[in-house]
Structure 1
Amino acid sequence: MELANYSDWSIDRLSEQNLFLDNKRKFPSWHYAMMNDKSRNEAIYSSIRSLDLKNKSVLEIGTGAGLVAMYFARCGAKHVYTCEMDKQLCEIAKQNIKHNNLEDKITVYNMSSTYLIDSNILNLTPDVIFTETLDCGIIGEGYERVAADIKKIATQETIILPEIIKQYGFLVESTDINEQNIANNEKMGAGLNLELINRYSTFTYFPVRYKNYKARTLTDVAEIGTYNYKDSFKKNKKIRIKAYRSGTCHGLITYFHAKFGNHSVTNDVRDNGHWHQAFHPFLNAVNLVAGNDYLLGISAKGYVTLTSLGGQNEC
């Protein structure tokens, strides 16, 4: 087998067999899509370049492969401290940083931000804190824990990126999306029943490529919530929303805009970045009536409920 375009340090001393044994990936494959997301990278790099980083220290929560830490170092930060819980990614980040001759400007810790801060290993107050520990529905990558850690160490003068995250959503009718999460016995054939597997369906939210599925929107887009790392985490939210189309509602599609200065990282349904959108399924589909108002509830974990303000059609 011909192996091409790998740098000498990673290939020369490895046989083909050892290459695949020693380089077994343990971290999620979406890291590649994230690193190759040009719009995301440009937004983050542009926001960092706009900062005056002279003599400034930076704390990054979630190192990944080291890209953002190196952005800060290249843009003039005095020193970057970054933590990563995944041991393999942590080692990769250290190698990438050394490969780019930035090891004197960046310190990588293989630990959680909680341990780094509570143990006083990081014995300073950073001037800038950066984190992108978000998932398609914002909260699934440990948002609440990271927010608590940031509050312990940030001051009023600390620059926090992203400074604000806004979540938007709309109600949809989509059997296609709904069936990514349940077994439909009507499609099994032979009179077989597989409904027991639905005990393991996701009841909070899961990632989808909204554009890939047949769906009908039933409401306008509504602002679902606003998140930032300095204020208290609002665990439960209720939003009034009006149906502009009658139909069978299977759930809520959400996406976010994370503001990094004048730039945004987003999984907006109108974009084509690496991010998926989030689908929050209802336990039971709800018949919506055009013109009626509904109260949408969303819990801290992303579980959704919908109640007719006329007292009908509750799920």
Structure 2
Amino acid sequence: MGFRDEAAGYFHKAVKLNPDFSDAKENFYRVANWLVERWHFIMLNDTKRNRIYNAAIQKAVSLGSKSVLDIGTGTGILSMFAKKAGAHSVYACELSKTMYELACDVVTANKMETGIKLLHMKSLDIEIPKHIPERVSLVVTETVDAGVFGEGIVESLIHAWEHLLLQPKTKGANGSCGQYGRVIPASVAIFGMAVECSEIRRHHRVGTKDIAGVRLPASVKFQSSASSSAETGEAVEPYTTEKMSRIPGGYLPLTECFEIMKVDFNSLQELKSLATKEPHPLSVPAIKEGMLDAVMVWFVLQLDDEYSLSTSPGEETCWEQAVYPVQALAGI
């Protein structure tokens, strides 16, 4: 009936009650395969991402951030990094029932179930002291998709700063090290490039007006969902994703790489201003003549002042690039 998350929870309970119940086991794995998004596998196999997150978390905990909240824990890996680093209190929240159950199993298998409190809920619903006893000194999260904001990181961090985190460190502040709030990742810089790409054009634009003698009238507007969502106000990301280094036929850069924006995740004021920020034009000179098919977007995630991750086309990471297709045929 479409209640896959709930179904997975009941099948999981049935298997726990009777590990030999083969029908329940088969059904659990079938529904779990629907629910565990494919990117979880790519993410867990991204050795560089895991190593750098681990190093940044270890550093933060060693500098005094001993209470940690992991937002969108998934398999629980960042929480376990924090516990292994020596954090006294670790809390982790996960909205998906399937991923929450999986995290419980992974944490238990690593003998950390007494040191990590797992919560099956959105971080926006966490209350003190109902769910966690006090404000934490560190929030870790990796709720960033290819376009950065698609998983709601801004909303969840605004709530965290207002309700769950200690106040941020201020310049010249005294007091013991670590008794202030901070977020990993600390900030993000977002970059773009205008490109010509026949493969993107093929997927998002009708190039012919005559198909085997049947005419497509100019008055009828053909538009891909990635483009129309921005105009209609639908809650759909106005982009698709591609591994641009492997896209069939390649792509031609029409501009240099340009910076779109920077966001400081450790500034509540900056996070709040994003919600009310008016769109502003960017003037980017063309370096080549060609057909404008898309704006390709990637980011550099700055975990702290030392560790960072880039999702640029030249990097091999679990993230693809965000691709904003351009509808109108334009020569530049």
Q: Does the pair score TM above 0.5?
A: yes
Q: Secondary structure of 2:41's match?
A: helix
The aligned counterpart of 1:38 is 47
The aligned counterpart of 1:207 is 241
Matched, 1:174 2:197: yes
Q: Give the CA deviation at 1:21.
A: 1.3
Q: Secondary structure of 2:121's match?
A: coil
Structure with bigger helix share is 2
Q: Give the CA deviation at 1:240.
A: 2.2
The aligned counterpart of 2:310 is 266
Structure 2 counterpart of 1:171, which letter? A
Q: Say what the alpha-carbon RMSD is for the aligned residues.
A: 2.7
Q: Give the CA deviation at 1:191.
A: 4.0
Q: Secondary structure of 1:242's match?
A: coil
The aligned counterpart of 1:228 is 264
The aligned counterpart of 1:60 is 70
The aligned counterpart of 1:48 is 57
After superposing the two structures, state which structure 1 stretch, 240-249 or 17-26, moved more: 17-26
> Which structure 2 residues correspond to residues 110-125 of structure 1 after superposition, within 5 A?
110-117=120-127, 120-125=130-135
Structure 2 counterpart of 1:42, which letter? R
Q: Give the CA deviation at 1:190.
A: 6.7
Structure 2 Cα separation of the partners of residues 138 and 270 of structure 1:
18
Q: Secondary structure of 1:21's match?
A: helix
Q: 1:186 to 1:102 in 2, by over 3 A?
A: farther
The aligned counterpart of 1:217 is 253
Which of 105, 108, 120 is equivalent to 2:118?
Answer: 108
Contact kept in structure 2, 1:266 and 1:275, CA below 8 Å: no
Structure 1 Cα separation of the partners of residues 65 and 196 of structure 2:
53
The aligned counterpart of 1:299 is none
The aligned counterpart of 2:185 is 162
Q: 1:108 to 1:271 in 2, by over 3 A?
A: same
5+ residue gaps, structure 2: 1-14, 169-179, 228-237
5+ residue gaps, structure 1: 1-8, 289-315
Contact kept in structure 2, 1:63 and 1:69, CA below 8 Å: yes
Structure 1 Cα separation of the partners of residues 210 and 42 of structure 2:
33
Q: Give the CA deviation at 1:194.
A: 11
Contact kept in structure 2, 1:60 and 1:82, CA below 8 Å: yes
Q: Secondary structure of 1:211's match?
A: helix
Structure 2 Cα separation of the partners of residues 110 and 184 of structure 1:
47
Contact kept in structure 2, 1:55 and 1:78, CA below 8 Å: no
Matched, 1:85 2:91: no
After superposing the two structures, state which structure 1 stretch, 59-68 or 225-234, moved more: 225-234
Matched, 1:239 2:313: no
Q: Secondary structure of 2:98's match?
A: helix
Q: Secondary structure of 1:133's match?
A: coil
Q: Give the CA deviation at 1:162.
A: 0.4
Q: Secondary structure of 2:284's match?
A: strand
Q: Give the CA deviation at 1:18.
A: 4.5
Structure 2 counterpart of 1:251, which letter? A
Structure with bigger strand share is 1
Contact kept in structure 1, 2:200 and 2:294, CA below 8 Å: no
Matched, 1:257 2:309: no
Contact kept in structure 1, 2:74 and 2:103, CA below 8 Å: yes
TM-score, length of structure 1 as denominator length: 0.80
Matched, 1:20 2:63: no
Q: Give the CA deviation at 1:131.
A: 1.1
